[in-house]
Structure formats: C-alpha cells, structure tokens
Amino acid sequence: MIHTYLVLAIAASALTLRWQWHRHYQKSQRSGELFQSQQDSQQNQWDRQWWWALVALALPPLWLLNGWIAVLLMGHAGTMWGYSVGTLGSILAIAGLAWAVAQLVIAWRQGQHAVDAITQLPTAEVQGQTARLIDQPVPYAAQVGFWRSHLVVSQGFLNCFSPAQIKAVLAHEGAHASTRDTFTFFWLSWLHRLVRWLPGSGELWQELLLLREIRADYHAATLTDPLDVAEALLIMVKFPLKSPAPMTTAMGDAVAMGEGAGGDRLNRRIQSLIRQTQQQPQNSAKASQSIPALFSWGLTLLAACPLLIIALHH
C-alpha cells in the first residue's frame, strides 16, 4: 500500500504547486504586476515571467511521470519503511504511464498530419525566404514543424501587408524558428495535456503562449521598426486562426486563442513593443534564446526528485 500513498502524495504535491501558481497569477492580474515594469529591463522581466510559468507547467506532470516510473521500477514486491508495497500502486503507475503515452501519440499524430499537409503546398519566395504558400484570402503566417519548421504564409498575407510589415512578420517567425519553439511547445503541450485537471491549467498555457510571442515580437523589433511589428500584429489579430497542432506557431496565437482575455494579451504585447522603443538598444535577443544553466539544472533536479524514492525500496 505504501506505493499507492506515494503516488497520491506526488499528485497532491503537483496540485499544491499549481494552486500556488494560480493564486500568484490571479493576484498579479489584479495588481498589474504581469505587465512590464518601468524599473526593470524588458529582458529581465520576460525571463522572470517565463521561468515562473515554465516551472508551474512542467514540474507537476514531470513529478507524476517520474513517480509512476519509480513505482514501476520498484515493482510490487518488497517493503518501504517497513511497510509492504502492494500491487495497487503498480497498477496505478502502469495506467498513468499508458495514458501519458497515449496522449503523446495523439499529439504526435496531430502534429504530423499538419506537417504532411504543409509539405504538399507549393513554395514561394518571400523577401529572399522560401515559404509554403496557402491559397486563401485571410492573412496568415506561421512556423509549422517539429525540430526543423517550415515557414507558411497565405496569399492574403502577401496581398494585405506592406513590404515593411512583411519583413517584420518574417523576423517574428524567424525568431520562432531560431529558438525551436515548435519543438519546445510540442513537448510542453504534451505535459499540459497530462495535467489539464489541475487548477489554472488553461491560463498557464495561454501565459506561456503569450510570453513566447512577446519574445518573438521583441526579436523582430530589434531587426525591424517596432512600429511595423505592432501594425502587423494589429492586422493579424483581426483574423483569428487557431493553430491546428502543437507544432505550429502563429503571430496571433496568444491573442486569438486567449478566451475572454484577448484585449489584455494584445495590450501586453503592444506595451512591450512601445517600451522597447523607449529603452536603449540591447543585445539581449541572443540571451533570450538560451536557457540559463543554473535554472535548467535546478528544474531537472526537482523533476527527478520522485526517482530518489527508489533508494528506499528493499
């Protein structure tokens, strides 16, 4: 029975962590803390918000996965702390891992279907870049793929946007490609699927999407006029298109997909661009592409904590 209690304890820890984030998120929304602070650099503000949201999303499902793996490796024979382990914990672990694998397969098939459809589209040269062209009047630009993503644009995008705005959007999508956002968010979407039942899951997912887009906006504004980025964003969000798969990033995602909070999300992105024009130019876009080593190692060690219980099994 001790394994059953361990599985339940790990689930309770995941619930507590997510509940604490949800409380912080709601408090920050009321106080306006989530908006850019004039006393802090944009890069530092983005880093703090990104890592806080990433830990809140990734750590609970990683605890669950590693807890299930630990229980499965220990088996249903033996003792822990003098108590028999029993079989119920192993059954729960097997069921949990089977469900996680099923969710991964579903997400992969959805993404692969989108990639297969994109590779059948004709190619077009857009300001020196090769893109897949969708024959539709609605403006659309996105990266679609896994590790190596494809630039996808619509005919409406080419017709409705000025050359300067097209350059801004291409720089935005180029930022997604350089940071492998399609790859990263495929795995994050899988982890999100596993713990949708936790409080604040939807808000947390939208927050990460928004921060992803703010980073790409910031990168585009360092290469083009921030005003062109803002104008392109305002046009794009008038034609909300939900990304068909987790391996897709589109400029309007964080606004179009935000249920009931589109205005606030758009406002945060525009304010971020305005604030960038008021700051001295910084060479921080490159820094935003790399994961701070200390933080990433800390997250890895925290996620692996449930595996340490294997040492207590006899």
The pLDDT tens digits of the residues spanning 148-169 come to 899 999 999 999 899 999 999 9
- Domain count for the chain, please give it: 1
Domain of residue 291 covers 2-29+37-312
Instruction: Read off the pLDDT of each residue in 113-123 and give the average, rounded to a whole number.
Output: 90
Q: What angle do CA 252, 258, 259 make, to 5 degrees?
A: 140
Q: Rg (Cα) of the chain, in Å, rounded?
A: 22
Q: What does the pLDDT read at residue 200?
A: 81
**More confidently predicted of 306 and 283:** 306
If pLDDT is split at 50, 70 and 90, which confidence band does 35 have? very low
Sign of the four-CA dihedral 237, 240, 246, 250: negative
Mean pLDDT, the chain, as a whole number? 78
If pLDDT is split at 50, 70 and 90, which confidence band does 239 have? confident
Residues with Cβ within 8 Å of residue 104, at least 6 apart in sequence:
190
If pLDDT is split at 50, 70 and 90, which confidence band does 299 have? low
Share of the chain above pLDDT 70, in %: 71
Among left, alpha and beta (phi > 0; psi -120 to 50; other), residue 215 is alpha
Residues with Cβ within 8 Å of residue 247, at least 6 apart in sequence:
111, 114, 115, 144, 145, 146, 149, 182, 183, 185, 186
Instruction: Read off the pLDDT of each residue in 170-196 and give the average, rounded to a whole number.
Output: 92
**More confidently predicted of 238 and 38:** 238
Distance in angstroms (rounded) separating the CA atoms of residues 273 and 220 = 10
Q: What does the pLDDT read at residue 36?
A: 46
Instruction: Read off the pLDDT of each residue in 86-103 and give the average, rounded to a whole number.
Output: 86
Q: What does the pLDDT read at residue 282?
A: 47
**More confidently predicted of 154 and 282:** 154
